[in-house]
Structure 1
Amino acid sequence: MTLEERKQQAETRIFKAVFPNTTNHYDTLFGGTAMHLMDEVAFITATRFSRLRMVTVSSDKIDFKKPIPAGTIIELIGKVSYIGNTSLKVNVVIYVEQMYSNEREKAVVGEFTFVAINEKKEPITIL
């Protein structure tokens, strides 16, 4: 399998409904909850690409472009954006959709860096 095929196969998409228990006093998704979901999708993407033990080492700039109201559906999409020797980066985008219309907007964008590790928790090569 080519590198590009592996990247495409590792793409991860998860849908969630935004319920009131995940929102703040403005009735929008907590930023921390969004970051948690993004890191989870990024981890799954990194693991699906490498099929190795992966750990998050950093979250790069995360841009909150639109608030995500309660009562909406979100889609999180993770894609491998960079591959190094022992690390890789995963770009994650959250789209917000209205439940009862076709409206869809990009709400949050971020990038996460992962390192592959062995049983001793030491970095190992990815490819």
Structure 2
Amino acid sequence: MTVEENIRKSETRIFKAVFPNTTNHYDTLFGGTAMQMMDEVAFITATRFTRQTVVTVSSDKIDFRKPIPSGTIVELIGKVVHLGNKSLKVNVEVFTEQMYSEHREKAIQGEFAFVAIDENKKPIPIRK
């Protein structure tokens, strides 16, 4: 399988409903909760791509463009966007959509970097 085919195959999409227990006093999704969901999708994407043990080493430029209100659906999409020798970057986009209409828009975007590690938690090359 080519790298491009593996990138396509490893793209990850997860849907979640935003309930009141995940929102702040403005009735919008907590930023930290959004980042946790994004890191999870990025981790799954990186694992599906490498099929190795990976850990998050950084997050980069997470842009919160739109608030995500309680009672909406979010779709998180993770895609590998950069591949190094021992690391890779995953872009995550978060879209919000109304439950009872077709309205949908991008709310958040960010990148997460991962490193493949061995059983001693030392960085190792990513199998391509």
Alignment partner of 1:40 is 2:40: yes
Q: 1:8-49, CA deviations, whole angstroms, 9 ceiling, x for partnerless residues? A: 000000000000000000000000000000000000000000
Could you tell me the percent identity over the aligned residues? 74
> Structure 1 counterpart of 2:4, which letter?
E
Q: CA RMSD in A?
A: 0.3
CA distance in 2, matches of 1:121, 1:70: 39
1:29 aligns with 29
2:53 aligns with 53
CA distance in 2, matches of 1:93, 1:23: 19
Q: How many residues align?
A: 127
2:101 counterpart SS class: coil
CA distance in 1, matches of 2:18, 2:121: 35
> Structure 2 counterpart of 1:121, which letter?
K
> Which structure 2 residues correspond to residues 61-76 of structure 1 after superposition, within 5 A?
61-76=61-76
CA distance in 1, matches of 2:122, 2:23: 38
Q: 1:45-85, CA deviations, whole angstroms, 9 ceiling, x for partnerless residues? A: 00000000000000001000000000000000000000000
Q: 1:86-113, CA deviations, whole angstroms, 9 ceiling, x for partnerless residues? A: 0000000000000000000000000000
**Structure 1: stretches of 5+ with no match in the other structure:** none
1:94 aligns with 94
Alignment partner of 1:103 is 2:111: no
**Structure 2: stretches of 5+ with no match in the other structure:** none
How far 1:4 moved relative to its partner?
A: 0.4
After superposing on structure 2, the runs of 4+ consecutive aligned residues of structure 1 that deviate more than 3 Å are none
> Structure 2 counterpart of 1:62, which letter?
I
